[in-house]
């Protein structure tokens, strides 16, 4: 239930039920769908380590994250991987270097509004370029050995599960 939406944006009538799928107005014929958003997360790997970012923004500020973000309109998931890594880390990886791994559902609350996402996880080799951190979103980056990863330090349930699955493929 999305509590911030109280009135029909078409006629102003009170809305009493807006779940995560559909808002329908009891007064006019407005029907509005809130669809699941696509987001990507990338396991950037080098030898036996993967690259984590440290979130500098809520939700989950200070916790570990993977590079990634929401897919823009008219963008493929691989293009999202490329764009987000370029924005967050200053590194450009060709879109054909992102290999699909697994998907997980996630809840992402931003400024009091809950969003449902489907996070698509990709794997890519780190290209050994210098990282330039985008400081508004990322506090730091950490290379962590697969055997030293502490899943509880990862902010989002979906990405904790992604990393857990990745660790299993490495054993």
Residues found near Zn ion in the complex (CB under 5 A) = 8, 10-11, 13, 25, 27-28, 30
Nearer to Zn ion, 25 or 93 (CB): 25
We find the least distance from the C-beta atom of residue 152 to Zn ion, in angstroms, to be: 45
Nearer to Zn ion, 28 or 36 (CB): 28
Nearer to Zn ion, 26 or 127 (CB): 26
Identify whether the C-beta of residue 129 lies closer than 8 Å to the C-beta of residue 33. no
We find the least distance from the C-beta atom of residue 32 to Zn ion, in angstroms, to be: 10
Phi, psi of 122 (to 5 degrees): -120, 160
We find the least distance from the C-beta atom of residue 30 to Zn ion, in angstroms, to be: 5
Q: Taking Cα atoms as reference points, which of 55, 43, 53 lies closest to residue 137? A: 55
Q: Residue for token digits 């950490």?
A: 142
We find the least distance from the C-beta atom of residue 9 to Zn ion, in angstroms, to be: 8
* Residue 12 buriedness (CB in 10 A; 0-12 / 13-18 / 19+): exposed
Nearer to Zn ion, 9 or 105 (CB): 9
Q: Are strands 37-46 and 113-125 parallel, antiparallel or unpaired?
A: parallel
């Amino acid at each position: 239930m999305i509590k911030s939406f109280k009135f029909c944006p078409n006629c102003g009538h009170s809305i009493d039920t807006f779940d995560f799928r559909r808002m329908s107005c009891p007064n006019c014929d407005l029907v509005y769908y809130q669809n699941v958003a696509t987001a990507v997360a990338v396991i950037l790997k080098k030898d036996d380590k993967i690259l984590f970012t440290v979130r500098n923004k809520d939700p989950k500020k200070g916790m570990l994250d993977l590079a990634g973000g929401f897919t823009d309109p008219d963008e493929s998931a691989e293009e999202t991987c490329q764009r987000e890594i370029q924005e967050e880390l200053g590194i450009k990886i060709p879109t054909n270097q992102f290999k699909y791994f697994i998907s997980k559902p996630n809840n992402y609350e931003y400024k009091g509004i809950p969003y449902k996402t489907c996070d698509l996880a990709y794997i890519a080799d780190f290209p050994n370029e210098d990282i330039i951190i985008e400081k508004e979103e990322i506090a730091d980056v950490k290379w962590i050995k697969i055997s030293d990863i502490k899943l509880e330090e990862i902010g989002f349930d979906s990405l904790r599960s992604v990393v857990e699955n990745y660790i299993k493929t490495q054993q």
